[in-house]
Amino acid sequence: MPLNPRIEGWKGRRVWVIGASTGIGRACAVALLQRGAQVAVSARDAQALQTVGGALALPLDVTDTAALQAGMQTLQQQWGGLDLLLYCAGTYRPMRATAFDLASALQHDEVNYRGALRALGAALPVFNAQRAGHVALVSSVAGFGGLPQALAYGPTKAALINLAETLYLDLRPMGIGVSVINPGFVETPLTRQNTFAMPALITPEQAAGAIVSGLEAGRFDIHFPRRFTLWLKLLRLLPRGLYFHIVSRFTGM
C-alpha cells in the first residue's frame, strides 16, 4: 500500500526542481517536462538553467533564504501555487577524519541540509494553505550509516532522512505527500571525484526514471538501484561491530 497518494499523470502539475543545473536534478526536470508538467528550475548556474528547454528558470543560491522566498512568490504569481517541491541541491567532497576540513563540513551542512530547510520555509506555507502538495528530498544511501570518505556528506544526508520521516508524520493528515529519495552511485560531476570503483553505477536519466516512477507509485522511500540499496539496508540491521567490519573490509578503508 503506498504511503502517499499516487500521481496518475503529470500534465499541468506544477513542479519546482531545486538543484537542476546538472545531474539528477536536471534529468528529473527534463523527464517531468516530457511528461507534461510545468517545471521551474533553480540553481546558481543561470546559464545552465536556460538550457533546460521549456522550464521556468529561477536562478538562486540555496544558502540565500530571501532568494528562495522570492522564488516561491514568483511561482505563486505565475502559477497560483505549487504541486511538488523536489530538492536535489547538494554538494560533496570526500573527507576523512584524518584530514578534517571544518569549512568544507559546514558548507555541506549549509547546502545539503539547511538549504532544504530554507526551501521548506518557502514552500510549506503554500502547501499548508492549499492542504495539498508533495515534498521530495534527495538524500543518499550515504545517509543509511557511516561510510569512509563521507564524513562531511553522510551526516547531512542522514539528517534529510530523519527530516522526511518527521515531515511525513506531520503532513500526512493534511493530505500533503512526502518522499525521501536515496540513490546509490549516479554518474554526476560530484561522483566523478571518487577514486574508487562505484558499484551499480547508473546514469542521471536512469535515476530520474526511478524517481518519477516512485513518485507516481506514491512511495515514501524511493531508493535505487535496488540491487545495491537493498544490501545497504540489510547491513544496518547487523550489530555495530559486524557492520563496521563488513564496511571496512568491502571498502578497504
pLDDT value, residue 120: 98
- pLDDT tens per residue, range 20-68: 999 999 999 999 999 999 999 999 999 999 999 999 999 999 999 999 9
pLDDT value, residue 195: 65
- β-partners of residue 16 are 40, 85
What is the number of residues in the chain? 253
- pLDDT tens per residue, range 63-122: 999 999 999 999 999 999 999 999 999 999 999 999 999 999 999 999 999 999 999 999
Q: How far apart are alpha carbons 204 and 185 in whole angstroms?
A: 10
For the stretch 77-116, what's the b/e string if a residue is b when 16 or more beta carbons lie within 10 angstroms of its beta carbon? eebeebbbbbbbbbbbebbeeeeeeeebbeebbbbbbbbb
CATH class of 14-251: alpha beta
Instruction: Show the cell assigned to 244.
Output: 563496521
This prediction's pTM: 0.94
Q: Per-residue confidence at 253, pLDDT binned at 50, 70, 90?
A: low
User: What whole-number percentage of the chain has pLDDT above 70?
Assistant: 97
pLDDT value, residue 184: 86
